[in-house]
């Protein structure tokens, strides 16, 4: 009887499960609803041929009674009649980096790409690594574009945890149902699994609402194919959706935010859904077991995942249910004998610790077994005591190399003692200290050699600063790195101009860095033979990774990779402290190299300066003062002939961008409230060869060719440049700007010829652009910083008047507060 009843129950459960998995839809009614919905969409889109040409999706929406306890649920189904062309489907596969410690990810991409290319799949699959995500997908806009670029995202199962947690991918992936699907890249069936996922359609449920949706056809697909696809996804829903069809309240067809048509209403309610068939690897792990002491001490309580509760005796506990083991703790204290004496309660903590430390007799339970492994505890305690004994409580230190804590007081006492000895007691009275001790007191406890070194490093006052700058007014080693590609005539002209102004080849060696593998340009560089130090040819760094929407801008990706390789090689492999960076289409002034030699000591002293540039973005003849030795501080990175130090390069190299490196240098993350030094009159200009570059000569005829470069010889060694240091520059700059009267744009046409300066104020970007257009200066922003700006101020000349375009921020705070 027991066997028959068991078989009967099993068959009943199987029949119930079979009935639950059968779709309750009336497919004849579904066919009519699908025809009507397509007609509604077609009528609504009449006159919009472009929209009709696109494949408008039609989805099945289900409303469930009980929401599954899941953060993200997706069901996959292979349609008998796919409505997405496989050759037009874009898939992105996230993989784990081969080299976890380094920053290079291109080798990993090449390896996976070559492996997938062997499969000859009909769809396009792009590879991305975790490092690439962390480096390139930091901005919010980049994550949004990545989500919209691909139809499906897959991921190596080893990195699924990293992708799903935090904000690595962003909310757009979850909102649009494009969270990556896990796949085992080392499985022997990797190709079949990859093909299956890429050719499937997916339904999603976020776990926060009762709706579940799954796309199954389009407006252009035939009715018969659409109904067959609907039957296929209904079969998948019945087998895999938690609660199956009992959990479905109603269903309707939905088409592209236009209208929905109901096709099914359930007669069940949520009380009919006993449990949701969520998968579990081990049901015993979800079963909780505990004691129930309120009824009987010999009872255990078993709570199953479905909520059923059983009371069983401990002797009949099923072996499949493993009771959680209690946490093992090391008992550090044991007492003498089996029981504690009553006198222990009255002992102090210190006395108890002494007794416990000296006693090695363990404590036994009623079965005669020791409670603690005394040998193990003794070994651990002795090791800890040995470690503590290695550290002496008092450490003797030699304070001879450190400043005395009361050095200033000792100096005053020494001066008073010497004064009194000279005035009253004469020369027979000995001094308090000898000469060596006196030097030690004056130096704060340092010896002569240490004091000299510290004096060279730490600048205590302005007088010492000036002396240091005078000492540094010597020519230093500043190599010139010339970047070139495929313009042989431009390279020839540029190197000849550098050789003409170079006075010492040892201090300004020329290094030519070549990309593009152009033989004519390479031959031009070789013709200079020993006049240039070396030629760097960019090696094969693998395929260039360019996003599909930036294929027309691939040249900027090549330039960024070229700069990254050559700058790192020159500064770290050739081991130069600083270099001058130029390009083959630049013209240079006669004092180009002397200018960098003169300003370089200021950069070494003032840590708020991170680069020196020879370019003025507003360097048109009518907009500048022809004072050739006038220099400025600027928050905007100008480039186009600039000096870079090894310290700055090692600071930014790990985050070097794949393209548009100059705009990346202007971001606050790299600038860090530091400035560049720029001249009033540019020391570089753009030659006509610049029209043949990647930009295609953009702004050359209208603006760049009008920038003038200095032609007057300047004796930079005779000029004091201390005014460029921040502590001296800012007060003078603020007082000069604030001394000017405030005017409006309409007042420019009526300016007094004797007016030396004036201020034009702006409160947002639109107002600045309007002012800049009237003044005929550059009006664009890079990360909220106008060109040539310092503390929000852009200066230029208008007729004979110096104009300061200033922000309304009083006092100045930051560029982030400049609104649109």
- End-to-end CA distance of the chain, in Å? 83
Domain boundaries, the chain: 25-39+54-78+200-273, 90-187, 476-724, 739-819
Mean pLDDT of 304-317: 58
Confidence of residue 304 (pLDDT cuts 50, 70, 90): low
pLDDT (tens digit per residue) in 561-610: 999 999 999 999 999 999 999 999 999 999 999 999 999 999 988 899 99
**Listed residue (673, 691, 698, 683) closest to 616, CA to CA:** 683
pLDDT for residue 17: 52
- Over residues 312-327, the mean pLDDT reads 47
Residue 684, beta-bridge partner list: 588
CB atoms within 10 A of CB 644: 21
* Angle subtended at Cα 117 by Cα 113 and Cα 123, rounded to the nearest 5 degrees: 100
Lowest-pLDDT range, 37-41, 470-474, 677-681, 802-806?
A: 470-474
* Sequence-separated (6 or more) residues with CB below 8 Å from residue 165: none
Which residue's entry shows tokens 């068959």?
Answer: 11
Question: Given a cut of 90, is residue 664 above it in pLDDT?
Answer: yes
The segment with the largest mean pLDDT, out of 152-161, 172-181, 426-435, 736-745, is 736-745
Q: What letter would DSSP give residue 682?
A: B
Q: Under a CB-based contact definition with an 8 Å cutoff, are residues 685 and 614 in contact?
A: no
Over residues 700-710, the pLDDT tens digits come to 777 788 899 99
For 481-553, where are the alpha helices, taking DSSP H only?
A: 488-501, 519-527
Q: Which residue has the higher pLDDT, 517 or 274?
A: 517
Alpha carbon distance 726, 705 (integer Å): 33
User: Do 204 and 213 contact (CB within 8 A), yes or no?
Assistant: yes
Instruction: Give residue 762's pLDDT.
Output: 93
pLDDT at res. 46: 67
Mean pLDDT of 240-261: 80
pLDDT for 681: 94
* 662 given a catalytic annotation: yes
Which pLDDT tens digit goes with each residue over 346-357? 455 545 554 544
User: Tell me, what's the pLDDT at 806?
Assistant: 94
Which stretch of 232-241, 259-268, 269-278 has the lowest confidence by average pLDDT?
A: 269-278
Which of 711, 817, 802, 718 shows the shortest CA–CA distance to 764?
Answer: 817
Greater confidence (813 vs 326) lies with 813
Marked catalytic residue, from 104, 662, 730, 783: 662
**CA nearest 77: which of 262, 207, 228?**
228
Sheet holding 609-613, edge to edge: 534-537, 510-514, 480-484, 578-583, 642-645, 609-613, 675-679, 631-634
Backbone angles phi, psi at 241, to 5 degrees: -75, 130
β partners of residue 250: 63, 265
Give one DSSP letter per residue of 465-483, joined into a string.
HHHHHHHT-S-----EEEE
Mean of the pLDDT values across residues 513-524?
91
Token couple for 326: 């209690």
Q: What is the pLDDT of residue 497?
A: 94
Element (H, E) at 216: strand 211-218
Q: Does residue 12 have a pLDDT over 70? A: no
CA distance 29 to 32: 5
Residue 744 has pLDDT above 80, yes or no: yes
25-39+54-78+200-273: CATH number: 3.30.190.20
Residue 550: the pLDDT is 84
In this structure, of 3-17, 262-276, 514-528, the range with the lowest mean pLDDT score is 3-17
pLDDT at position 365 over 70: no
How far from 486 is each of 43, 480, 483, 557, 634, CA to CA, in Å?
A: 57, 19, 10, 16, 33
| 750 or 557, higher pLDDT | 557
Q: Is 255 helix (H, G, I), strand (E, B) or coil?
A: strand
As a whole-number percent, the residues of the chain with pLDDT over 70 amount to 69
pLDDT digits (tens, 9 = 90+) for 445-495: 444 443 443 344 344 444 444 455 545 567 889 999 999 998 999 999 999
What is the average per-residue pLDDT within 779-785?
Answer: 90
DSSP structure string for 748-808:
GGG--TT--EEEEEESBHHHHHHHHHHHTS---EETTEETT-BTTBEEEEETTEEEEEEES
Rg (Cα) of the chain, in Å, rounded?
40
Closest CA to 546 of 664, 656, 659: 659
Confidence of residue 381 (pLDDT cuts 50, 70, 90): low
The contacts of residue 399 (CB under 8 Å, 6+ apart) are 445
Mean pLDDT across 380-407? 48
Strands 757-762 and 801-807: parallel
Which of the 8 DSSP states describes residue 372?
Answer: S
Cα 259 to Cα 33, 53, 59, 219, 230, distances in angstroms: 11, 20, 11, 13, 18
What 3-state DSSP class applies to 127?
strand
Sheet containing 299-303: give its strands across: 288-291, 299-303, 309-313
Kindly state the average pLDDT of the residues 265-281.
Answer: 68
Q: For the domain 739-819, what is the CATH superfamily, name and number?
A: N-Acetylglucosaminyltransferase I, Domain 2 (3.10.180.20)
Pairing of strands 248-255, 57-64: antiparallel
Q: What is the model's pLDDT at position 339?
A: 40
Which of the four pLDDT bands, split at 50, 70 and 90, describes residue 208? low
Residues β-bridged to residue 533: none
Cα distance between residue 817 and residue 809, in whole Å: 9
Q: Is the pLDDT of residue 441 over 60?
A: no
- Return the higher-pLDDT residue of 359 and 230: 230
Which range, of 50-64, 148-162, 368-382, 429-443, averages the lowest pLDDT?
Answer: 429-443
- The per-residue pLDDT for 661 is 93
CA 268-270-272 angle, to 5 degrees, is 60
Joined tokens for residue 745: 């744009």
What is the per-residue pLDDT for 301? 66
Q: Kindly state the average pLDDT of the residues 124-141.
A: 82
CA 271 to chain centre: 49
Kindly tell me if the per-residue pLDDT of 404 is higher than 80: no
Q: For the domain bounded by 90-187, which CATH number is listed?
A: 3.40.50.790
* pLDDT above 70 (res 524): yes
| Residues linked to residue 587 through DSSP beta bridges, in sequence order | 685
Q: In this predicted model, what pLDDT tens digit does every residue of 56-112 receive, in sequence order?
A: 788 888 888 888 766 567 777 888 888 776 666 788 898 988 877 776 788 888 888
Tens of pLDDT, residues 794-809:
999 988 899 999 998 8
Place of tokens 């990993």: 108
For residue 352, count other CB atoms closer than 10 A to its CB: 14
Comparing CA positions, the residue from 282, 279, 284 lying closest to residue 318 is: 284
Distance CA 234, CA 278 (A): 18
Give percent of the chain with pLDDT exceeding 90: 27
The reported pTM is: 0.48
d(CA 233, CA 253): 13
Q: Hey, what are 625's tokens?
A: 């003062």
Question: Phi and psi at residue 181, in whole multiples of 5°?
Answer: -95, 140
pLDDT at 291 over 70: no
Q: What rounded mean pLDDT belongs to the chain?
A: 76
- pLDDT reported for residue 54: 53
Q: What is the CATH number of domain 476-724?
A: 3.90.550.10
Same topology, domains 25-39+54-78+200-273 and 90-187? Answer is: no
Cβ proximity of 68 and 207 under 8 Å: yes
Q: Quick check: bond before 130 cis, omega within 30?
A: no
Decide: residue 622, CB within 10 A, 0-12 exposed, 13-18 middle, 19+ buried.
Answer: exposed
């Amino acid at each position: 009887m027991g066997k028959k009843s068991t078989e009967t129950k099993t068959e009943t459960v199987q029949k119930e499960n079979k009935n639950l998995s059968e779709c309750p839809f009336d497919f004849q009614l579904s066919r009519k609803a699908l025809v009507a919905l397509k007609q509604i969409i077609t009528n609504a889109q009449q006159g919009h041929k472009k929209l009709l040409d696109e494949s408008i999706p039609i989805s099945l929406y289900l409303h469930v009674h009980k929401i599954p306890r899941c953060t993200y649920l997706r069901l996959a189904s292979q349609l008998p009649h796919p409505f997405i062309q496989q050759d037009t489907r874009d898939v992105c596969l996230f993989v784990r980096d081969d080299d976890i410690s380094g920053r290079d990810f291109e080798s990993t991409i090449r390896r996976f790409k070559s492996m997938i290319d062997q499969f000859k799949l009909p769809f396009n699959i792009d590879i991305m690594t975790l490092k690439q995500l962390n480096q390139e997908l930091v901005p919010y806009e980049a994550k949004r574009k990545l989500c919209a670029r691909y139809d499906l995202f897959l991921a190596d199962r080893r990195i699924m945890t990293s992708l799903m947690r935090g904000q690595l991918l962003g909310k757009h992936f979850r909102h649009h149902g494009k969270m990556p699907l896990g796949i085992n890249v080392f499985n022997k069936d990797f190709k079949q699994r990859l093909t299956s996922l890429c050719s499937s359609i997916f339904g999603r449920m976020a776990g926060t609402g009762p709706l579940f949706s799954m796309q199954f056809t389009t407006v252009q697909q035939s009715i018969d194919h659409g109904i067959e696809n609907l039957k296929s996804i209904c079969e998948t829903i019945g087998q895999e959706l938690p609660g199956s069809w009992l959990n479905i309240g109603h269903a309707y067809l939905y088409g592209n935010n236009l209208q929905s048509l109901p096709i099914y209403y359930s007669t069940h309610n949520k009380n009919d859904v006993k449990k949701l068939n969520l998968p579990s690897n081990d049901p015993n792990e979800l079963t909780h077991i505990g004691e129930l002491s309120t009824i009987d001490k010999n009872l255990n309580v078993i709570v199953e995942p479905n909520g059923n509760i059983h009371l069983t005796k401990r002797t009949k506990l099923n072996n499949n249910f493993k009771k959680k083991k209690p946490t093992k703790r090391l008992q550090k204290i044991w007492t003498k004998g089996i029981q504690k004496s009553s006198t222990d309660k009255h002992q102090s903590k210190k006395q108890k610790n002494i007794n416990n430390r000296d006693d090695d007799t363990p404590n036994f339970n009623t079965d005669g077994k020791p409670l603690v492994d005394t040998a193990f505890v003794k070994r651990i305690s002795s090791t800890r005591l040995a470690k503590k004994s290695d550290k002496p409580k008092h450490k003797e230190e030699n304070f001879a190399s450190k400043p005395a804590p009361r050095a200033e007081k000792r100096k005053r006492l020494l001066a008073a003692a010497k004064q009194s000895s000279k005035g009253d007691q004469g020369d027979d009275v000995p001094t308090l200290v000898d000469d060596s001790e006196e030097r030690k007191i004056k130096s704060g406890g340092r010896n002569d050699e240490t004091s000299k070194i510290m004096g060279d490093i730490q600048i205590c006052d302005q007088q010492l600063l000036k002396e240091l700058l005078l000492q540094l007014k010597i020519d230093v080693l500043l190599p010139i790195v010339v970047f070139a590609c495929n313009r042989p005539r431009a390279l020839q002209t540029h190197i000849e101009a550098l050789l003409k102004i170079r006075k010492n080849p040892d201090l300004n060696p020329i290094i030519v860095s070549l990309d593009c593998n152009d033989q004519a340009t390479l031959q031009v560089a070789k013709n200079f033979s020993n006049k240039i130090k070396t030629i760097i040819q960019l090696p094969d760094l693998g395929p260039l990774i360019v996003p599909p929407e930036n294929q027309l801008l691939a040249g900027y990706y090549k330039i960024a990779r070229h700069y990254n390789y050559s700058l790192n090689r020159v500064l770290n492999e050739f081991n130069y402290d600083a270099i001058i960076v130029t390009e083959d289409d630049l013209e240079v002034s006669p004092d180009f190299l002397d200018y960098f030699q003169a300003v370089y000591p200021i950069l070494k002293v003032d840590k708020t300066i991170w680069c020196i540039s020879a370019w003025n973005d507003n360097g048109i003849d009518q907009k500048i003062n022809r004072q050739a030795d006038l220099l400025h501080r600027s928050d905007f990175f100008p480039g186009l002939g600039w000096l870079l130090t090894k310290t700055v390069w090692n600071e930014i190299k790990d985050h070097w961008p794949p393209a548009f490196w100059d705009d990346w240098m202007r971001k606050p993350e790299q600038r860090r409230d530091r400035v560049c030094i720029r001249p009033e009159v540019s020391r570089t200009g753009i030659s006509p060869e610049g029209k043949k570059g990647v930009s295609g000569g953009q702004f050359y005829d209208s603006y760049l060719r009008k920038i003038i470069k200095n032609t007057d010889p300047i004796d930079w060694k005779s000029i004091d440049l201390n005014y460029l240091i921040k502590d001296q520059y800012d007060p003078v700059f603020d007082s000069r700007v604030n001394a000017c009267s405030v005017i409006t744009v309409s007042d420019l046409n009526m300016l007094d010829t004797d007016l030396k300066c004036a201020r034009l104020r702006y409160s947002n970007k639109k107002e600045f652009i309007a002012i800049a257009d009237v003044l005929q200066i550059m009006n664009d922003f890079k990360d909220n910083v106008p060109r040539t700006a310092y503390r929000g101020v852009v200066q230029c000349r208008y007729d004979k008047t110096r104009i300061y375009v200033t922000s309304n921020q009083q006092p100045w705070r930051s560029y982030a507060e400049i609104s649109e």
